[in-house]
Amino acid sequence: MKLYPAERIRNVALLGHGGAGKTSLTEALLFDTGAISRLGRVEDGTTVSDFDPDEVKRRISVSAAVAPLEWRDTKVNVLDTPGYADFAGEVRATLRVADAAIIVLDASAGVEVGTEQAWRLAAERGVPRVIFINKMDRENADFDRALTSARETFGKAVAPIQFPIGREKGFKGLVDLLSEQALTFHDNHDGGFEAGPIPPELADDCAMYRRQLVEAIAEQDEDLMVRYLDDDPISNEELSAGLRHCVDAGCLIPVLCGAATGNRGMPPLLDAIVEYLPDASGTVLAVGGTEEVAADPAGPLAALTFKTLIDPHVGRVSLFRVFRGTFRSNGHVVNANRGEPERVGQLFAIRGKEHLNTDAIGPGDIGAVGKLTTVLTGDTLADPTHPVVLDGIVFPSPSYAVAVHPKTKADLDKLGQALHRLEEEDPTLHVSRDPVTGETILAGLGEPHVQVALDRMQRRSHVNVELGLPRVAYRETITTRIVTEYKHKKQTGGAGQYGHVFLELEPLPDEDFAFTERVVGGSVPRNFYPAVEKGVREALEGGPLAGYPVVNVRVTLTDGSYHAVDSNEMAFKIAAKEAFKKGILAAKPSLLEPVMRIRVSVPEAMLGDVMSDLNGKRAHVAGMDPGANGTTTVEATVPAAEVQRYATDLRSLTQGRGTFTAEFSHYQPVPAHIAEQIRAAARDHVAA
């Protein structure tokens, strides 16, 4: 594939609800442009962009894929993205390097949950959008209904530039509203068509849709509007130029239609991509707005890594978009984010799992390189003499976590490295170790997201694990002030041990722990104070109720005694530890549970169900904030134990339309009836 200037490159993301046909659309576009010689099928696992074993097995996209093709002396990088919310990180990364988005709708379903989420992400990035109504040849396909749902959801800027001839199995062509021609498809599904006059029975529909389109374009141009109102004819060339401007400004959303699996309507879509969507020659700002980065092939290199793959043969592969300069094989660059030099080997374009070697990747284009040692997703690769940093990628925070337990000792030895590889490949996965429970925690965007990651780990690294709910990090504390005493006295052959302390324990609401001393008359020598504190700190590690750490307590050494020969640090440490254990039982200990502060955004129509569910989770609602697009944000505090599966619960309650964020807020006492259950569970855990 030759080197194209940025003006002849289109980077287009396919977005939409899962099952809308984005992968089949990618396949048809590749086939019609000659990039592939056979039309693959999602059901058979033979498509170019769904090549991962997890995608073949599940018949859904779980990872973004790049599919470059050539059409009318233009290179189009089609970026096929997953449609399910669990893989939203892939969509965000793709939109960071895309210049436009095609929102794919199922003709029988119209706008769905994933469509709305894709639209929102594209709107946040401010990329121009086109709507493609797919599956026009399916049962119950209805162009008018799908178009109406798009207009109701996305506004009056949605305007068709073509409409179908026939419906369902009788879908046989398109009417192009700009050229005012009928395009009749070939029966052999080769993607071709014959252009001819519009059938008389469609003349009224054509006049209506064309009038809507001309009005929408003219509204954005004062001269065209005056001519339109004066019934002065506007040429198709002027309308095309006006449409291009409107799409770029985001004030008009063209609608096209077709059937990807039947390979119908692809060339007109490709023409629209080339004619109406922006090219890759735009400029971006460096971090902090310090420098304007223009698509100059002779400028110093600036390329953003937007995806990392772990290839079983090549190792780590970094996918990047060049924003400035020309990226060349076998050279040197710097990871500008980390200040680390990198040796670059062979560059290649990537089409699904196929690697197409190339000597250079120009500005605006997308490429890949293997075996970079320090580069992660979101890092900037730059000229060593001009290390500019580009804005990275903002990924969604994890909302679902599991505890990962290796099945065997061999699995334990390999687990850490295997999980680290998962994190490198997918920044929306977070691996951590709970210091209290000792569990390894893997967090992601949902249950399917985590399960796919672990399946991938098992297949690649041969690590077998068992999953469970993470143990909640409870704490224990005291509720009253007491004084406790313990004398450690041990006499064996030779030197003995003697340590005697009085400790005062009292609640300390604002701190985890404080140690002070108030010894009078030297009853405990000062050099033993550190040993007393150390003994108390060891006792804090496991409380008497369920073995959880003890917090919010002040311990004061008030008195004691010592032996001139037998007293030593070990004796006073043991005495302090036992005194604390004895005292905490008398200080009315109680369990504390972690409380999360959550913000739940849901459509108003589903607010009642969500509020009822939160009340059942012992939540305390702090307030509600009506937002844009008919959503309401609920702010609440809720015990962590009640929201371990909230990502799944909320998705079920809101049909996938609800979103939430959670962060730790504070600890609060556990109700008595629940505290007993926690103690029983702790006893069972110890017994196991």
pLDDT tens per residue, range 426-446:
999 999 998 877 899 999 998
Per-residue model confidence (pLDDT) at position 288: 81
Range(s) of the domain holding residue 564: 476-588
Helix-strand-coil split of the chain, %, nearest 5: 35, 30, 35
Domain at 509, CATH number:
3.30.230.10
Does residue 649 share a domain with residue 602?
yes
Domain assignment of residue 339, yes or no: yes
Residue pair 164/176 in contact by the 8 Å Cβ criterion = no
Same domain, 198 and 242: yes
The distance of Cα 73 from the centroid of its chain, to the nearest Å, equals: 35
Domain annotation covers residue 551: yes
What total of structural domains would you count in the chain? 5
For residue 170, being part of any structural domain is answered with yes
Considering the domain architecture, whether residues 290 and 272 belong to the same structural domain is answered as no
Specify whether 36 is located in the same domain as 184: yes
- 132: its two tokens: 């493609």
Number of Cβ atoms within 10 Å of the Cβ of 228: 18
Helix intervals (H) in 503-592? 529-540, 569-586
| Residue 495 in domain | yes
CATH of residue 306: 2.40.30.10
Mean pLDDT by 10 residues, the chain (688 residues): 93 96 97 94 92 88 95 97 93 97 97 93 95 96 96 93 95 95 93 94 93 91 87 89 94 97 97 97 88 94 95 86 97 95 95 92 97 95 96 91 92 92 93 87 92 92 91 92 94 80 94 92 92 96 91 95 90 96 94 94 91 94 84 94 90 88 91 89 71
SS3 541: coil
Residue position matching structure tokens 């004061």: 556
150: CATH: 3.40.50.300
Domain boundary residue, one of 468, 495, 522: 468
Could you say which of 588, 605, 625 is where a domain stops?
A: 588
pLDDT in the model for residue 311:
78
Write the CATH number for 411. 3.30.70.870
Q: Report how far residue 86's alpha carbon sits from residue 63's, in angstroms, rounded to the nearest whole number.
A: 11
Out of 439, 468, 497, pick the residue that ends a domain.
468
* Residues ≥6 apart with Cβ < 8 Å to 298: 325, 326
Instruction: Please tell me whether residues 88 and 206 are part of one structural domain.
Output: yes
**Residue 394 domain flag:** no
Is residue 468 within 8 Å of residue 403, measured between CB atoms?
Answer: yes
Q: Return phi, psi of residue 615, to 5°.
A: -60, -35
Residue-level pLDDT at 680? 86
- Taking the C-alpha atoms of residue 249 and residue 238, their distance in angstroms, rounded to an integer, is 17
The reply to whether 181 and 90 lie within a common domain is yes
Three-state DSSP at 479 gives coil
The whole-model pTM stands at 0.86
- Could you list the beta-strand ranges (E) of 135-226: 158-160, 162-165, 173-176, 181-185, 193-196
Is 2 among the domain residues? Answer: no
Orientation angle between helical segments 22-32 and 266-276, nearest 10 degrees: 90
Asked if residue 635 and residue 510 are part of one domain, the reply reads: no
Q: Residue 549 carries which DSSP code? A: P
Do residues 371 and 246 share a domain? no
Note the pLDDT tens digit of each residue in 274-317.
999 999 999 998 998 889 999 999 999 999 999 999 877 778 89
| Whole-number pLDDT of residue 679 | 87
> Domain for residue 499, yes or no?
yes
Please report which helix (H) or strand (E) contains residue 420, including its range: helix 409-425
Instruction: Answer yes or no: do 111 and 195 share one domain.
Output: yes
At 520 the pLDDT is: 86
pLDDT for residue 514: 95
pLDDT at site 114: 92
- Same domain as 189, residue 81: yes
Q: Where are the alpha helices (DSSP H) in 252-303?
A: 266-276
564/561 Cα distance (integer angstroms)? 10
What pairing do the DSSP bridges indicate for beta strands 181-185 and 631-639? unpaired
Judge if 312 and 445 occupy the same domain.
Answer: no
**145 and 161: one domain?**
yes
Please report whether residue 1 resides in a domain.
no
